Amino acid sequence: MLRREVPAVLTTVMAIFVFLSAMLFPLEEMKILARTDSLLQFMGNMALFLGGINLFRLHSRNIKKKREYWPFSLWLLAVFVFFTVLGIVKGNNDPLYKGLYDALIVPVNASMHSISAFFLCSAAFKAFRIKNLDSIVLMISAVWVMLASVPIGEIISPNVGIVKDWLLAVPGSAVARAMANGLFLAGFAATLRIFLGLERRHLGQ
Amino acid sequence: MDLMLLAAEAEAAVPKWGIFVDVEGAISGLLTTLILTGLTYYWITAARAGRNIPSIRRLPGLDAITEAVGRATEMGRPVMLANRRDGLGDVETFALWGYLSHAATLAAQYDTRFINLTGSHLVLAVNEAVIQQAYLEAGRPDAFNQDDCRYFPSNQWPWSSHCAGIIMRERPAALLWVGSWSGEASILPEAGSQIEAIQIAAVTTTGQLPFFIASCDYVLMSGEVYAASAYLSKEPVMTGTIVAEDCAKLLLMAIAVLGALVEIARPASQWMTNLLKF
Amino acid sequence: MFWRKLLNIDSKIIYVVVGLALLLPVIKPVGMPVSISEEYTRRFYNYLTDIPKDAVVFFDLSFRETGEAELGSSVLPAFELLQKRGVKIVCGGQWQQAPFFMQSRLEKKAEEIGSVYGVDWVNIGYKPGGTATWRAMMEDFWKGAAGVDCNETKFDELPLMDRVRKLDKETFAAIVIWQAGTPGSGTWMQYAPDIPLLAVYMGGIGGNARYLRSGQVQAMIGGMQQAAEFEIITDCLGDATGLLDAQSLAVLVVIAFIVLGNISWIMVKRQDSLERSS
């Protein structure tokens, strides 16, 4: 009962309340949503601690059992503890914290992101095949938009950019809107299933 | 400063129609919600009463999960399902649990290792329960391995390198990408194709679809992603919600066509725009 | 056979070619001509220059380090353009990274143009809690933002913040968002539809063009090309203009590989069918 029914009832009651609060003036005036928002902020911050504990638990177990690649777990925990202590003691405006951030996190993240240029090219080489009319149209428009997104397009012809803008604004927008509407309605149906208690996997059913 | 506060208090908000908030789309939004809820209620009731309701068309991407798990079993390699950024309150996560439960049950039945990676520790807790339940239902509770339910903080590129690392080290034969994705979509499916895994993606972010389409074997998109639970459960009541969704789509199309015609015929009136904003 | 070899080319060779295409123009720039897009860049620039003096604009820096070249490059010109015209700026972000690492760059720029922190501009930093936080700031900016800026200076020590009591259209003349993904402009479209929104997208405008036509976004630019155009129009040359040559050559390489991939695929298919028939 506590594990199944209570969460289901709470979900339904809160869903009705939040929905009506966004629509009905008397409920909005009570500013209850602003209070629940503060609770959400609090929960979000508490989640950071729980995440840290979970990370610690998992990697301590890796080290303890000397599993494969356990030195990486050790390294992760060492960096995790170092940055947490530094952030708490000195604050994130400390020159050491900022310096490490700029010297380590920024280039590492940028490197990871830059890999996408290489992977994209190899994926395009392997996957972009003109198998039928659809794929021909897709490839021509993709190449056109790519060319128009860099100065070469302009060098070829000033019309390249005009066609690209039209492709994005008319057919591109139409498809994006259709997808967005489909997603919204499907999301709404899924929400209703949760709301009506038909979808209960999150309660272990 | 006091003057400003007094001025703010003096400008008391005025309700629309006495009870609605004065925000664009408040009343039309309420009406839309009521219509959609009514449609869903009608089709669920019809399904419960045993009346004939339309069935869901075949979704090859969902059927392929069985094939992918089977292939992983033959190759003696694991199955992996990953989701990075969807949190406990996101509707994508509820869809995720449908895929997770189905794939984990198949993996348990076929005695294949199942790895799950998420970027939310709160989702991880539920994922563990869903996978454990799947192993229990498959009659193999002893095969459940908690260490294969993994969490890594959802920061985009560290998560992606961690995920790519797992792909290269564990070499799963089947990869399932579920939920909403960002720029990492340009890397991860390609990493999967490098180890020649069967890849199935159920993606809700339209902008990242091209990357999955380029590298994955099957891609479920837009509304299909959320239909998984209903499709996999084969329960008529669940199917009823999908039928209601399609009825709403038809209604939306009719409104779009009508709105376009009216705006063309009487562009100055803007009455359809105003109606929807009301 | 050559075409079969090409079709099965090792990915590492592709990586080397792409790497060279990206590297060579950085070492030896070509300086390709850039023309200004009327639909996007000019409109974006004009909107910013039409914002009245002494109005307050919110800069939502929602990206991380990876977006620094493409997105960060237009933050400083926009900052300079508005500050020089006497428009006040409050910066913040839905992503934790950009408000943090852009602070030193903004400070440098402010010093250069004589803007005073706390009077002409303020950076409230990243505020965790997602949409709940922004909604709270719409009710009470000080309370929702925990009453401190990114350096933990209290709002009551920053004169500009006296004018910023609510995140609403009375306080802010516009919101300018630099977004690399989600959360992004959706937050403002959903919760603050009445505040004019300007957007800078990473990787190009793509499917976001629809928001311009629907009026949900007043002006937008996207990708490296338009970032460079914005640098040129504001006479504030930086990363985007410098890196455009590299992107141009990389695009040519991608197109060349797509064409080569298709030719080799067709040739191999033809040869296979000839072998089968013989």
Contact A151 C225 (CB under 8 A): yes
Structure tokens at B57: 């068309």
SS3 B56: coil
Please compute the mean of the pLDDT values over residues C30-52 and round it to a whole number.
Answer: 90
**Which chains border B (3 or more CB–CB pairs < 8 Å)?**
A, C
Could you say which of B24, B157, B205 has the minimum Cβ distance to residue C193? B24
Residues A91-121: pLDDT tens digits? Answer: 877 888 888 888 888 888 888 888 888 888 8
Q: What is the pLDDT at residue A43? A: 75
The mean of the pLDDT values for chain B is 86
Q: DSSP class of residue C207?
A: G
Here the tokens at position B172 are: 């799963």
- Interface contacts (A, C; CB < 8 Å): 156
Å from B148 to nearest chain A CA? 11
Q: Which among C104, C244, C251 is the nearest to A146, CB-wise? A: C251
Average pLDDT over residues A199-204: 64
A40 touches chain C (CB under 8 A): yes
Smallest Cβ distance to A37: which of C22, C132, C255? C132
H-only helix segments in chain B: 2-10, 26-48, 60-75, 91-109, 121-137, 156-170, 188-194, 209-215, 228-233, 236-265, 271-277
- What are the structural domain ranges in chain C? 2-29+244-277, 39-237
The pLDDT value recorded for residue B10 is 41
Average pLDDT rounded to a whole number, residues B242-265: 89
Q: What pLDDT shows up at residue A201? A: 65
Q: What is the pLDDT of residue A4?
A: 67
Residues near A143 by Cβ (< 8 Å), separated by ≥ 6? Answer: C255, C258
**Span C264-278, average pLDDT:** 89
Determine whether the interchain pair A121/C252 forms a contact, defined as Cβ–Cβ distance below 8 Å.
Answer: no
pLDDT of residue C20: 94
| Interface residue A32 vs chain C (CB under 8 A) | no
Predicted local confidence at residue A119, as pLDDT: 86
pLDDT tens figures, C77-107: 999 999 999 999 999 999 988 998 899 899 9
CA-based angle B169:B170:B175, to the nearest 5? Answer: 120
pLDDT at residue A1 in the model: 58
In sign, the C-alpha dihedral spanning A122, A127, A131, A132 is: negative
Indicate whether B7 pLDDT > 50.
Answer: no
* Residues of chain C contacting residue A143, judged by C-beta atoms under 8 Å apart: 255, 258
Query: For residue A112, what pLDDT is reported?
Result: 83
The DSSP result for A66-91, as a single string, is T-TTHHHHHHHHHHHHHHHHHHHHH-
Q: Dump pLDDT digits (tens) for A132-147.
A: 888 888 888 888 988 8
Predicted confidence at residue B177, as pLDDT, reads 97
Cα C6 off chain centre by: 37
Q: Quick one: which of C220, C236, C204, C185 has its CA closest to C62?
A: C185
DSSP C167-199: SSTTTEEEEEEEESSSSSHHHHHHH-TTS-EEE
Nearest to A127 by CA among B207, C251, C11, B215: B215
Q: How confident is the model at residue C175 (pLDDT cuts 50, 70, 90)?
A: very high
- Per-residue pLDDT, C154: 94
Token readout for B110 is 């076929």
pLDDT at position B117: 96
Top pLDDT among A8 and C89 is at C89
pLDDT of residue B144: 94
Per-residue pLDDT tens digits for B31-76: 888 888 899 889 888 888 888 888 888 889 999 999 999 999 999 9
Average pLDDT over residues B134-151: 91
Element (H, E) at B81: strand B79-83
Residue A205: predicted pLDDT: 55
CB atoms C32 and A151 under 8 Å: yes
- Reduced to 3 states (helix: H, G, I; strand: E, B; else coil), residue B220 is strand
What does the pLDDT look like over C122-149, one tens digit per residue?
A: 999 998 778 878 888 988 899 889 899 9
Q: What average pLDDT is seen over chain C?
A: 91
Whether B136 shows a pLDDT value over 90: the answer reads yes
Q: What is the pLDDT of residue A204?
A: 57
Q: Is the pLDDT of residue A2 over 70?
A: no
Residue-level pLDDT at B124: 87
* DSSP classification of residue A168: I
Q: Complex ipTM, two decimals? A: 0.80
Q: Which of C9, C64, C141 to mutate to test the interface with B (most CBs of B within 10 A)?
A: C64
Query: What topology is assigned to C39-237 in CATH?
Result: Rossmann fold (3.40.50)
Q: CB distance C206–B182 less than 8 Å? A: no
* Domains, chain B: 60-232 (3.40.50)
Q: Which of A128, A193, A202 sits opposite B241 (nearest CB)?
A: A193
Q: Which is more confidently placed, A39 or C180?
A: C180
Chain C residue numbers with beta carbons less than 8 Å from the beta carbon of A172 are 206-207, 209-210
**The token pair that represents A15 in the structure block:** 């869903």
Smallest CA–CA distance from B88 into chain A, residue: A202
Residue B4 reports pLDDT greater than 60: no
For residue C216, the distance in angstroms to the closest alpha carbon of chain A comes to 13
Torsion C250-C253-C259-C262 (CA) sign:
negative
